[in-house]
Amino acid sequence: MSTIMPKSELARKAVKWICEQMEQSEKPLPQLIEEAAMRYNLGPVDVEFLLRFFKDKKD
């Protein structure tokens, strides 16, 4: 039996993964967000959250 995580938990894991990848690789942020979306099976709302999160963090 698999465990279903709430989307917010998946988004948190995606943020952590993206931050780790930003330190380890030279991939552009949009590519990392796309990879995280596939890795964590994120929906459009979660992807939009990631885009806003990292845009606000950058500014």
What gap in Å lies between CA 23 and CA 46, rounded to an integer?
A: 22
Domain housing 20: 14-58
What gap in Å lies between CA 7 and CA 49, rounded to an integer?
A: 11
Residue 56, pLDDT score? 81
For 8-42, what is each residue's pLDDT tens digit? 788 899 999 999 999 999 999 999 999 999 999 99
Residue 1, pLDDT score? 45
* Secondary structure of 28-57 in HEC code, one letter for each residue: CHHHHHHHHHHHCCCCHHHHHHHHHHHHHH
Q: In the chain, how many domains are there? A: 1
The mean pLDDT value for 46-57 works out to 90
* 9 found inside a domain: no
| Among candidate residues 2, 24, 21, 14, the one with its CA nearest the CA of residue 49 | 14
* 31 found inside a domain: yes
Residue 57, pLDDT score? 75
Distance in angstroms between the alpha carbons of the first and the last residue of the chain: 42
pTM of the model as a whole: 0.82
Residue 36, pLDDT score? 97
pLDDT at 7 over 90: no
